[in-house]
């Protein structure tokens, strides 16, 4: 069973550990080991920010990752999203697909926004491919936009509109049910 739950104050230590895992930080914009004081400041800001939403991704009762919405803009009816799976043995097992479907559902059906955006480091081909399978449109490349490990990397920009979600939702859900992603 997979689910989202709200982040609580008790999650701070776990998130600090996850954010510094090499297999997580490799795909984050942060390019250094996050200090405790940096993390505590981020965690404190997170709780008070009305333009963000954070969830812990739970699989079979175990906390395994983080999903977040950022830059929630009710006027322009858009936001951005990101996620990571902190438990590497769960990658490639439908957990990311579950997170993506539920984020899309929440943004378009609960928040009733018109657009969901995301950015992916250019070398993260697996996540780019997943966004494509879900119907995101590649909207552009921010060339040499981020430095990771002392090298410039492109950032790929993706977006999905509400009418695209509505067109594809039932087919996506049926496909994920066939693949047993919701179990």
pLDDT at residue 89, as a whole number: 78
pLDDT at residue 104, as a whole number: 98
* Confidence (pTM): 0.93
Q: Does residue 183 sit within a domain?
A: no
pLDDT at residue 91, as a whole number: 74
What is the helix (H) or strand (E) element at residue 148, kind and residue range?
A: strand 137-148
CATH classification of the domain holding 154 = 3.40.630.30
Of the candidates 124, 130, 69, the residue with the CA atom closest to the CA atom of residue 98: 130
Q: For the chain, how many structural domains are there in total?
A: 1
Q: Does residue 101 sit within a domain?
A: yes
CB 127 within 8 A of CB 150: no
Q: Does residue 61 sit within a domain?
A: yes
Q: Does residue 164 sit within a domain?
A: yes
Q: Does residue 150 sit within a domain?
A: yes
What is the distance in angstroms between the CA of the first residue and the CA of the last residue of the chain? 5
- Domain range holding 30? 2-178
90-131 residue pLDDT tens = 777 789 999 999 999 999 999 999 999 999 999 999 999 999
Question: What is the distance, to the nearest Å, from the Cα of residue 132 to the centroid of all Cα atoms in its chain?
Answer: 14
3-39 residue pLDDT tens = 999 999 999 999 999 999 999 999 999 889 999 999 9
SS3 13: helix
């Amino acid at each position: 069973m997979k689910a989202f739950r709200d982040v609580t104050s008790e999650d701070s230590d776990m998130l600090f550990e996850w954010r510094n895992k090499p297999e997580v930080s490799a795909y984050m914009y942060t390019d250094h080991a996050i200090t405790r004081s940096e993390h505590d400041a981020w965690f404190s800001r997170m709780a008070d920010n009305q333009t963000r939403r954070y969830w812990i991704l739970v699989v079979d009762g175990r906390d395994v990752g983080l999903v977040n919405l950022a830059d929630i803009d009710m006027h322009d009816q858009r936001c951005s999203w990101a996620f990571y799976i902190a438990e590497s043995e769960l990658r490639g097992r439908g957990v990311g697909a579950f997170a993506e479907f539920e984020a899309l559902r929440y943004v378009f059906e609960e928040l009733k926004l018109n657009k969901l955006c995301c950015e992916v480091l250019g070398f993260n081909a697996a996540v780019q491919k997943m966004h494509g399978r879900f119907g995101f449109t590649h909207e552009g490349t921010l060339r040499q936009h981020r430095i990771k490990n002392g090298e410039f990397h492109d950032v790929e920009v993706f977006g999905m509109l509400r009418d695209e979600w509505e067109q594809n939702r039932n087919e996506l859900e049926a496909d994920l049910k066939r693949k047993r992603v919701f179990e």
